[in-house]
Structure 1
Amino acid sequence: MNKNTPQVTEHVFKQSEQKLFLTIVGVSIIFIGKFLGALFTNSLALFSDSWHLLTDIASLILSFWGLKIGLKAADDRYTFGYYRFSILTALINNISLILISIYIFYKAIVRYFNPIDVQPEGMIIFSILGLLVNTIVVLNLRDNSNNINVKSVFLHFLGDALSDIGVLIGGIVIYFTHLSGVDTLLSAILACLILKNALKMTIECTKILLEAAPEEISIDEVKKSIKNLGGIMEVTDVHIWSLSKEILSMTAHVSMQECTIENCERKLHEIQHLLKDKFNIEHSTIQFEKCTCGSCFHSKPDHNYCCNMCIDKCKKEKNAITIQSTKI
């Protein structure tokens, strides 16, 4: 259970921002070293890894900007705040990684048909250097990986650390066996690692932008927990979505047995505490009513149709259609 308050969330964002800045400096240094090493050794694995680092620097700067924008307060234009900017930057970063992995595959195929000599000594030296830097970056970002921007960067550099291990092993193998094809094989494996993480994070970012309910939250469980507070007949028209990985929002209709102003105010306080303490939903809008979904436009007798935004009504109508079809 996560009990982040808005103040704690802001502190986490600022802490992540500071760590990203330090990471940008460190990665810029190692990029220069790896790129020069790739030119010196003719290693495709080292060359692809150095260009991967260049895109990481760009993604770090983009993530850094996204975190700074995300801390801005809501205004008349962006009434939910600016949290989605960090999701957008994370999505751009991961799409760029997908394109890079495809490019590395292409270069590996070209190198397979046009092999050149590789100098394993340089591969070993620069992979050790890269492994040290990437390990420091991973350890630095580990405690802040709940933020999707930082998590994206964290996974990048975890993959980079694994890549350095692969280049190191490849350099040792080539040094003793003179099989330069190992370098080409390693570059293809690195592309697979990059593609896997990038696709996973891209899907996660897309789900947030499409306002999908968080996977860790069950709407049925939310309804059950609210009804267990007592005095509540039904919970309908529930919508749960993420503004960012840390900020969750929810709206719902709650039909009460005794829908007085005093009773609804007391029950609202209980529901808000429940949502925050059990489900980490910080921003909720609860509409109280005497009958189920009584104030929805589509619930009126002259507008009684399936609303695509009301999962309860659509479920009932779909089930009714299924039952009728079965009888026929």
Structure 2
Amino acid sequence: MQKKWKKIAFTIIGITIIFVGKFIGAFISKSLALFSDSWHLLTDIASLILSYWGVKVALKSANHKYNFGYYRFSIFTALINNLSLILISVYIFYKAILRYFNPVNVEPSGMIIFSILGLTVNTIVVLNLRNNSNNMNVKSVFLHFMVDALSDIGVLIGGIIIYFTHLPGVDTLLSAILACLILRNAFKMTIECIKILLEAAPEDISIDELKESIKDLGGIIEITDIHIWSLSKEILSMTAHISIKECNIENCESRLHEIQHLLKDKFNIDHSTIQFEKSTCGSCFHSKPDHKHCCNMCIDKCGDEKHQKIINI
């Protein structure tokens, strides 16, 4: 994690340099595509600073107030970053529409020079971050600059086309395409952040497969009341009730060791809480004779009752 915030700090310095160059170049060349790209870089700098803060805070240890640690801070900052990208992509598209109805002569040489400068820096940034995309904040930054590198290629191609054809409308078309690229990636990342904050089960883990893998260890009757969620993109947690045939202290300790090894090695689940019992879900509150009701937090109990409630609604 410490290496990740150092990489982000390095990226902040590089992007600040390129922003100043592109912003000046946009005024010289009057290129909307270059101006849109430089404006986007300004939000990138803000998002990088926010990401830097999020990754630094995530390094703090758990305490009595934040007993799950500070991993969610990095998800929260990644969400803000991607929401800002959605807003800026809408703004760029709006500016493209205005430029379409009010054409402006574009200086292609400035577009070419500054897009080459941007492409060089963005390529260095992408290569610097490419092996650290498991962290949501770093992944967000990585996608930012992948899009930036593509944007520079687009501006470069646009500048070359305008230089030879003298068609300034190409610049407007490119800025609209760039806005769509930014919006697509930002929207995808925003949905991913929201799912983590809502404690949805990770998409790359099948609960049915996980249950079968545990049962394959032998001596397992059933796995119930299972919950899997992400504290951050790379930190997964799980709780479950597991009924076993031989429910004694010695066997439970041995079983727990095997199960936790399986969860870490096969599913990358770092933190698990396992409750052993003789009967299936026998220790759950809703399983008691005087508390028979449907529990909305249990995915494997009262299935018919839940279905009937949905039909009645």
What is the TM-score of this pair, normalised by structure 1? 0.93
Give CA deviations for 1:64-84 in whole Å, capped at 9, x if unaligned.
100000000000000000000
- Which residue of structure 1 lines up, in the alignment, with residue 285 of structure 2? 297
- Which residue of structure 1 lines up, in the alignment, with residue 217 of structure 2? 229
Confirm whether residue 176 of structure 1 aligns to residue 179 of structure 2. no
What is the TM-score of this pair, normalised by structure 2? 0.97
Confirm whether residue 31 of structure 1 aligns to residue 19 of structure 2. yes
Give CA deviations for 1:289-324 in whole Å, capped at 9, x if unaligned.
1111111111112211111100000435457x59xx
1:240 to 228, 232, 236: 228
Unaligned runs of 5+ in 1: 1-12
Paired amino acid for 2:103: P
Task: Tell me the CA shift for residue 281 of structure 1.
Answer: 0.6
Superposition RMSD on alpha carbons, in Å? Answer: 1.4
Unaligned runs of 5+ in 2: none
- Which residue of structure 2 lines up, in the alignment, with residue 3 of structure 1? none
Where 1:286 maps in the other structure, the secondary structure is strand
Where 1:274 maps in the other structure, the secondary structure is helix
- Which residue of structure 2 lines up, in the alignment, with residue 97 of structure 1? 85
Where 2:202 maps in the other structure, the secondary structure is coil
Paired amino acid for 1:282: D
Give CA deviations for 1:248-290 in whole Å, capped at 9, x if unaligned.
0000000111211111111111111111111111100001111
Q: Distance in 2 between matches of 1:116 and 1:317?
A: 65
Where 1:312 maps in the other structure, the secondary structure is coil
Give CA deviations for 1:183-225 in whole Å, capped at 9, x if unaligned.
1000000000000100110011111111111111111111111
Q: Distance in 2 between matches of 1:225 and 1:125?
A: 57
Paired amino acid for 2:67: T
The equivalences for 1:1-328 within 5 A come to: 13-318=1-306, 321=308
Q: Distance in 2 between matches of 1:196 and 1:85?
A: 24
Q: Percent of counterpart pairs with the same letter? A: 78
* TM superposition outliers: structure 1 runs of 4+ over 4 Å: none
Q: Distance in 2 between matches of 1:318 and 1:109?
A: 49
Q: Distance in 1 between matches of 2:274 and 2:188?
A: 33
Q: Distance in 2 between matches of 1:186 and 1:171?
A: 10
Contact 2:294 2:306 in 1 (8 A): no
Q: Distance in 2 between matches of 1:214 and 1:191?
A: 29
Q: Distance in 1 between matches of 2:129 and 2:303?
A: 43
Where 2:301 maps in the other structure, the secondary structure is helix
